Amino acid sequence: MHSNSRMHSQVHSRLPSLSVPKRTESETISYAPFTLFPSPVPTRLFNQAFEVQQDFNLLVDKISMDSEFLKNSLASTAEADEFTARLFNIYTRVLDEGIAQPITLGVNRSDYMFDKRPKLTATLKQVEINTIAASYAGLAARVPEVHRQVMNVWGKPDEAAKIMSNKAVKGICKGIARAWHLYGSSDAAVLFLVEKFSRNIFDQRCLEMELWKKNVRVIRRQMYEIYERGTLDDNKKLFVDGNEVAVAYFRTGYSPDDYFSEECWIARLMIERSMAIKCPNIATHLVGTKKIQQELVREGVLEKFLPEDPAAVERIRATFVGLYSIDEGPEGDEIIAKALADPESYVLKPQREGGGNNIFGEELRQVLGGIKDKASRSAYILMDRIKPQVVKNYLLQSGASVKLSECVVELGVFGVYIRNCNRLSMNLSAGHLLRTKRTEFADGGVSAGVAVLDTPYLI
């Protein structure tokens, strides 16, 4: 007894003393919210979303190369919205200098709801397309395993076996790794551009670990750190802390809050001017604005970009709902009057990403009424409000009671593409994301604390 005690004391004395830092709110770990059961999703709509994603990849890329279309489409929005204007200024400067890197990597996510209006049979309707920082591939890929376990414990092994795997992480990392390889330097790294405080770090880590498995080195930096410790050499190669950057993968930069100082804007310009392969480049970032989404519904626009593929045009157009410009003029005045008379039928959308920005109902009436006679109305578009089908599920959220709730689901499909000069060398539908929220919430995603992660149960 004495000997064991002495041995324990000797071992303990060799251990280093650890000082535990005071935990801050940003360091608190909680589980990602999720549904108790997988939610039913019509097989035909799931397949439709996957089939059209490659069309959207091609469309986004073609628009990003049309400077005249981007300039004309975003002119009024840039005048009314300072954030769009600053992004656009970076775009025009890079365009004037000449684009240094001809290789483009795109990681998009097109989001849909299942619209029950006006038909009894649900139809797939696009909410938006995200061209920067499309997130939750990492965590979404983990949810099917959780739901299989739940179904097996519940005594439903046949149903558990039907839950499909989600290969979003592998698909996205296949694209990033291919771009890294095309850059041509095995010593260069993939740069993850991240927020100062991230609630979604483990989603990013899933991608990072997959890349390390492929022997692709990853470094993580914030935007202001690029300003402080980043340089461009004479060949416009980007170096950060001595690390050459092959791919700059943005998981930040989509919100005005991400540019909390002028140095962040300088850093964004430095990245865009560099030889690093951007995901996305500034042109592709701009393609994801709500204004471009609205312009695509105009007659003849899809045909302009996909003239040799009428079937792709029809597949894309089938997912559209009404989107309307509210720029000054008769067209804008007419749709504003309709929305003020019937605000429940529309959504008012600013040029913002990240969820929780859209405006509905009485708030829409108030905001639209306040800007209808001002030039600032060009910072917004109007969209027909989707009336999604309702499902029931239990939502597990930290600190919230668990109860059976009426919910709506939103399906996202990830797309990955690479263009080398003028040729697409990769075009994939790379995986999916299903998010579910209670019907009382009109807007907001997982990061906003409203939606939770889910798995499609195909029916």
List, by residue number, the catalytic residues.
109, 128, 130, 135, 290, 349, 353-354, 435
Contact 381, 335 (CB under 8 A): no
Q: Where are the alpha helices (DSSP H) in 81-156?
A: 82-97, 137-140, 143-153
Rounded to whole angstroms, how far apart are CA atoms 157 and 152? 5
Q: Of 32, 452, 352, 413, nearest to 200 (Cα)?
A: 32
Q: At what angle do helices 262-273 and 82-97 cross, to 10 degrees?
A: 30
Encoding tokens for residue 163? 């839950």
Measured CA angle at 456 (ends 453, 459), to 5 deg: 155
Buried b (16+ CB within 10 A) or exposed e, 424-442: bebbbbbbbbbbbbeeeeb
Q: What is the CA radius of gyration of the chain?
A: 24
Most distant CA atoms of the chain, gap in Å: 93
Buried b (16+ CB within 10 A) or exposed e, 173-189: bbbbbbbbebbeeeebb
Encoding tokens for residue 384? 């027909």
Encoding tokens for residue 387? 């009336």
- The residue written with tokens 């395993």 in the block is 145
